Amino acid sequence: MNEQTQPATVRVFIALAPPDHAKEELARELRPAYDTHPHVRWNRIEDWHITLAFLGELPTEIVPLLLRPLAVLAAGRRPPCLALRGSGYFDDRVLWSGIDGDLDELHTLAADVRAVVRSCGVTFEDRPLRPHLTLARARRGDRSSAAEIAEGFAEFTGCRWSAERLHLVGSNAGRSRGPIHYRDVEAWTLGSGNRTAS
């Protein structure tokens, strides 16, 4: 791609991601809802993540400044043990699954990630951490689908797993009318000691 066609900004967040087997376990639980609510905009399973810090639109030249500090942070942290549990919805439209497990450790990791980002001179809206996976969005005006689906897996409790990697993620949100796609800018193994980016 020609350098001149690169966007001047990139939408960025820092996240953890469940392993494939945990995502597949929840996807099996959701399968009936995929059939009964096809009009809901389901997120791709490979994009499911737990946002620790949402940085918004950053100038592309700022993003490399985050890499080394986040690598150092990740190397010194052990992976939190988590599980997917329960369900809910925001604003009548946004369906989510909750997070269980080492929540104190998760909150501490998020606070440290945000401190590292601020130390790099990046300002962002410091929203309270509400650990969850966003699964789907109902269409505007549809005030019942998210609640109906959430009720169907409210008792779900998934297997426990270690969040092995810290992800710096870029997205194309707002750049097209198509689906949102996420891509790792970089990811680091948590607790990797002296190893940095992998």
Task: Return the ∠ at Cα 135 (arms to 129 and 138), rounded to 5°.
Answer: 110
Backbone angles phi, psi at 2, to 5 degrees: -65, 135
Q: Which residue is it, tokens 């096809």?
A: 38
Q: Which residue is it, tokens 């100038």?
A: 59
Whether the CB-CB separation of 95 and 135 falls below 8 Å is answered with yes
Catalytic: 132?
Answer: yes
CA distances from 59 to 37, 55, 66, 76 (A): 38, 11, 12, 28
d(CA 97, CA 120): 32
Which of the residues 21, 39, 49, 107 is marked catalytic?
Answer: 49
Which of the residues 21, 107, 132, 167 is marked catalytic?
Answer: 132
Q: Which residue is it, tokens 């909750």?
A: 98
- The tokens for 192 are 């990797």
Catalytic: 181?
Answer: no
- Helix 20-36 crosses helix 145-152 at what angle (to 10 degrees)? 130
Whether the CB-CB separation of 47 and 133 falls below 8 Å is answered with no
d(CA 66, CA 4): 23
- Active-site residue set: 49, 132
